[in-house]
A and B are shown apart, each in its own frame.
Chain A
Amino acid sequence: DAKTTQPNSMESNEEEPVHLPCNHSTISGTDYIHWYRQLPSQGPEYVIHGLTSNVNNRMASLAIAEDRKSSTLILHRATLRDAAVYYCILDDSGTYKYIFGTGTRLKVLA
């Protein structure tokens, strides 16, 4: 199963940008990179996904390295509501399983 590596925790000040890194050196050519976040006592929530090109949506941006072995989730202006655990997941097109890594616990300081 493809694996991802993320820092255990990060802190950000409110209204400032946050860059959440993810390493996925064993990614295969057809694996999509997905990001989800989980608030306490809730199921994960979709944030963004991409394959090769950088992606933007209303929640965040996703920057994917040229060799696809790493990616970065960018929250342009962190709010207190963005405090959550962020998971970077490889969408294995072979098994369609989501294998969760440890995720990054983001703390946003007021």
Chain B
Amino acid sequence: GAVVSQHPSRVICKSGTSVKIECRSLDFQATTMFWYRQFPKQSLMLMATSNEGSKATYEQGVEKDKFLINHASLTLSTLTVTSAHPEDSSFYICSARGTNYGYTFGSGTRLTVV
């Protein structure tokens, strides 16, 4: 079945630094990937849609200069949290749409900014 690999699973960074999260589709090509953020005890919130070879589309209220998305190939999308602050600490999840209906989700990245 379709597998999406997300790395790293956990990261701790200092306030003011940048962190990159990778999302790979291992056995299928994904022209579109999605990035979500999830705070404790809350649902997933869609941040942006990542399209291969073009600019990402951000949801209302999400700062595109802070959350940089690059989708340079059909199997890789990256999310870079720039100048991270403690309020950016969250669980970040990517998903990809394969050839069949539905999406496959990555296992998530827990970001802690100290």
Total contacting residues, chain A, CB less than 8 A: 20
A98: chain B residues at CB < 8 Å are 34, 46, 95, 103
Q: Which residue of B lies closest to A43 (CB)?
A: B105
Contacts A44-B44, A91-B101, A102-B43 given; indicate if A97 touches B34 (C-beta within 8 A).
yes
**Are B43 and A101 closer than 8 Å at their CB atoms?**
yes
B107 in contact (CB, < 8 A): yes
A107 in contact (CB, < 8 A): no
**Are B104 and A41 closer than 8 Å at their CB atoms?**
no
Q: Which residue of B lies closest to A32 (CB)?
A: B101
Q: Which residue of B lies closest to A87 (CB)?
A: B43
Tell me the minimal C-beta distance from B26 to chain A in angstroms: 14
Q: Which residue of B lies closest to A42 (CB)?
A: B107
B49: chain A residues at CB < 8 Å are 97
A22-42 with Cβ < 8 A to chain B: 32, 34, 36, 41-42
Total contacting residues, chain B, CB less than 8 A: 23
B95: chain A residues at CB < 8 Å are 43-44, 98
Contact with A along B44-55 (1 / 0, CB 8 A): 111001000000
Tell me the minimal C-beta distance from A20 to chain B in angstroms: 15
A34: chain B residues at CB < 8 Å are 101-102
B88-114 with Cβ < 8 A to chain A: 91, 93, 95, 97, 101-108, 110
B-to-A contact residues, CB < 8 Å:
4, 6, 32, 34, 36, 43-46, 49, 91, 93, 95, 97, 101-108, 110
15 additional contacts (CB under 8 A) given A42-B107, A46-B102, A100-B43: A32-B101, A34-B101, A36-B105, A41-B108, A41-B110, A44-B44, A44-B95, A46-B103, A91-B102, A96-B32, A97-B34, A100-B44, A100-B46, A101-B43, A102-B43
5 contacts between A and B (CB under 8 A): A34-B101, A36-B105, A43-B105, A91-B102, A100-B43
